[in-house]
Structure 1
Amino acid sequence: MSVLQTGRQALLGALARLPWRPATRDVPYRRGARIAVIGNCQARGVARSLEVLLPDAVVTLVPTGQLGRSVRTLRALAEGLADYDRVFSQPITGHFPDGGSAELLRLLPRARLFPAIVFAAFHPDMVYVGNLSAGRETGLVPSPLHTYHSAITLFGYLRGLSEEQILRLFRDDALAQLGFLDGWDLAAEDLVATSRAIGFDLAPELLRWSRRGAFMHGINHPKLFVMADIARRLATEAGLAPAELPVEAYLADDLLGEVIWPVYPAVAAAYGVSGSYIFKRRAMPKVPPPVLDLSGLVRESLALYRTLPRARLTCQRIEHWSRHPDICALFDAA
């Protein structure tokens, strides 16, 4: 081992022994409550909404992607957040050897859990492909739209269909046969049950969001007003008196820079919202939003799948469809 490598390892070892502290922004005019928000990409919307709703608060975002890397144990995380007035966290599982959400609440009595939002009714064709148990994105198969895939396209490919045959499966009667037009109740039940399991019942919010139309950019990317509602409720129930204002009128929606999956026209008609087959890729700085039509998505997806071993193209939806003869017959007749 070289002297340079030895010195680097020694430095990393010394840094690892330092107490962990979250990265904070020093905003001179903010001298109010110190709040930490822990979570995935949705948590940024909650944190930024809290900054609008609580103009004096100092809000620190702790992305779950840092957990297990910059901070190695749950106890170290709790110690680093001990000086905060409030800690709002999405459920933590699988990041630390010494526990998850239950232990965090025990170590930080002022912590409160809030749910991760997953709602598939508007985007029932949108799936992940690959090994979800691998953690983070390491086991996921990339796609023309980051890590999001069309289940119809993938199943069509696995059954040997051409691009033209796959495109014919996006017709209204086929989508209905696949159950794409009646997924609301199951999606709502799953979201409400998940939220109630951590003591944050979202049933009233879900009713309000549904009155505003399609409230998701994709299966796991809510629109900003959804995260603002959660931020407002967290602040209110913590006794922090948030301002009475529509956050989305003052703040840009960061998740608009990510993949936008359209609500297919037949699905849109079922729920009374606008629909299309225009997909948006992840945004690039200072250029128009890069979009992709349905034929482009199918064509690029097929080209990608042909470069991969079939063993990598695993998906729970595909496994479910493959066990149903009527769905297999629908695809084979395309």
Structure 2
Amino acid sequence: MAPLPALFNPAVQAVTARAFSAPSWARPWRRSAGHPRIAVIGNCQATGVAQALRLLLPGAEVETILVAGLDRRFGHIDRLARHLSGADHVFSHFFPEGFIAGGNVHGLAERVPGLRLFPTILFSGFHPDLVHVGDEASLRLSRLVASPIGPYHSAVALAGFRRGLSVEATLRLYTGPVFEQLGYFDLWQASADYLLRTARDVGFGLDREFALWCRGGVFMHVINHPRLPVLGNIARRLAREAGYTPLDLPVERYAPDMLAAEPVWPVLPGIAERYGVAGSTLFKGDGRRTPPRLLDLADFVAESFALYARHRPADLTCTRVDSWEAMPGIRALFDGAA
């Protein structure tokens, strides 16, 4: 999936907000008798949505098409459109130009009548310390620096390393008062506003669903991987609004949460206390191919420092940590921990 900070880019937001042309919405969707053919296009979240649709609509043929492989598989947007011509419904995340020759999702919508956009879930409220390091603007995970558990880093750890702190001194900064000074608790509202605005931009408002998710506790594994109940809610709405009656069952009780096999970032105690949820300092690595590693906070920071030491300083770029360098108060906060 695309690195999160790039998806907050105003230029990408502006393209996302473009309305579909009237003709693309004017023609009716084809309807199969009891066995609809559905295509779900998107990032890693699309896999969970497709999985939920298969469960909620028994008999439906549901194909997952990942945006990361569009160019390799289809080569041109016209070929993708021809592939989709036999589908009764096409549900898609927004994707910009560059993933397939010939255009972006709006160009695909002009070729595929009735294509329905649904939102990517991005929310950093539970994990405000999580950042990417490296070429964030490239939209390519291969251009990011790896952490001990994947492309996810602690801003506090990176800043501590760049300020010359020891691991022990950096660990003293993982407290609620420090998080307050870093503005972490302000990220909840900013992240919620972004999520709800981008959902409305694609015609899929999530105000009600977001309130329910918040009442249920932590609903994200990391900032760009929602837990399965979230994806199940989206799948159920897509099915209902397409004219079907999905089974009335909680998807998470009957299907595995595939994104839980990937890295999981803890809700750190200083954050958890603020929001009234269970806290943890255990970081989980990717477990899709090998048994996942579990690291406590001290080990995660120590291994992060060791990785950073093998990189050139110019490689360790991060929008947030770079901005902290220009803030005397935050520089003093880190220097005072030495």
Fold conserved between structures, TM > 0.5 = yes
Alignment partner of 2:245 out of 222, 241, 244: 241
Distance 1:93 1:77 in 2: 15
1:41 aligns with 2:25: no
Distance 1:187 1:129 in 2: 19
Cross-structure match for 1:61: 64
1:112 aligns with 2:112: no
Distance 1:195 1:254 in 2: 23
Q: Secondary structure at the match of 1:37?
A: strand
Matches within 5 A, 1:90-129: 90-94=93-97, 95-129=99-133
Counterpart code for 1:54? L
Give the alignment's TM-score, normalised by structure 1: 0.88
Give the alignment's TM-score, normalised by structure 2: 0.87
Structure 1: segments with no counterpart, 5+ residues: 1-29
Contact 1:259 1:282 in 2 (8 A): yes
Cross-structure match for 2:308: 305
1:210 aligns with 2:202: no
Contact 1:130 1:315 in 2 (8 A): yes
Structure 2: segments with no counterpart, 5+ residues: 1-32
Distance 2:136 2:265 in 1: 20
**Displacement of 1:172 after TM fit?**
2.0
1:270 aligns with 2:274: yes
Q: Percent identity?
A: 46
1:70 aligns with 2:46: no
Q: Over residues 265-300 of structure 1, what are the superposed CA-to-partner deviations in whole Å (9 max), with x where a residue is unaligned?
A: 12111111100111111115684x421000100110
Contact 2:127 2:223 in 1 (8 A): yes
Higher relative CO (CA 8 A, sep ≥ 6), structure 1 or 2? 2
Distance 1:104 1:55 in 2: 28
Counterpart code for 1:276? S
Q: Over residues 244-276 of structure 1, what are the superposed CA-to-partner deviations in whole Å (9 max), with x where a residue is unaligned?
A: 111111111011101110001121111111001
**Displacement of 1:72 after TM fit?**
1.6
Counterpart code for 1:144? P
Q: Over residues 186-214 of structure 1, what are the superposed CA-to-partner deviations in whole Å (9 max), with x where a residue is unaligned?
A: 11100001111111111111011101001
Q: Over residues 156-193 of structure 1, what are the superposed CA-to-partner deviations in whole Å (9 max), with x where a residue is unaligned?
A: 11111111111111122111111223322111100001
RMSD over aligned CA atoms reads 1.4
Q: Over residues 100-153 of structure 1, what are the superposed CA-to-partner deviations in whole Å (9 max), with x where a residue is unaligned?
A: 121111111121011111100100011111112333212111110111101100
Contact 2:174 2:270 in 1 (8 A): no
Distance 1:74 1:41 in 2: 20
Counterpart code for 1:227? L
Distance 2:89 2:172 in 1: 52
Contact 2:45 2:225 in 1 (8 A): yes
1:251 aligns with 2:225: no
Q: Secondary structure at the match of 2:185?
A: coil
Cross-structure match for 1:199: 203
**Displacement of 1:237 after TM fit?**
0.6
Moved more, 174-183 or 252-261: 174-183
Q: Secondary structure at the match of 1:123?
A: coil
Alignment partner of 1:184 out of 174, 182, 188: 188
Contact 1:85 1:110 in 2 (8 A): no
Deviant stretches of 4+, over 4 Å: 284-287
Distance 2:234 2:156 in 1: 33
Matched pairs, number: 304
Q: Secondary structure at the match of 2:205?
A: coil
1:133 to 1:69, Cα distance in 2 relative to 1, 3 A: farther
Q: Which structure has the larger Rg? A: 1
Distance 2:283 2:185 in 1: 19
Contact 1:181 1:266 in 2 (8 A): no
1:326 aligns with 2:338: no
Q: Over residues 74-101 of structure 1, what are the superposed CA-to-partner deviations in whole Å (9 max), with x where a residue is unaligned?
A: 1211111111000111001131342112
1:240 to 1:284, Cα distance in 2 relative to 1, 3 A: closer
Alignment partner of 1:141 out of 140, 145, 153: 145
Contact 1:278 1:291 in 2 (8 A): yes
Contact 2:284 2:294 in 1 (8 A): yes
Contact 1:31 1:58 in 2 (8 A): no
Distance 1:57 1:111 in 2: 17
1:224 to 1:284, Cα distance in 2 relative to 1, 3 A: closer
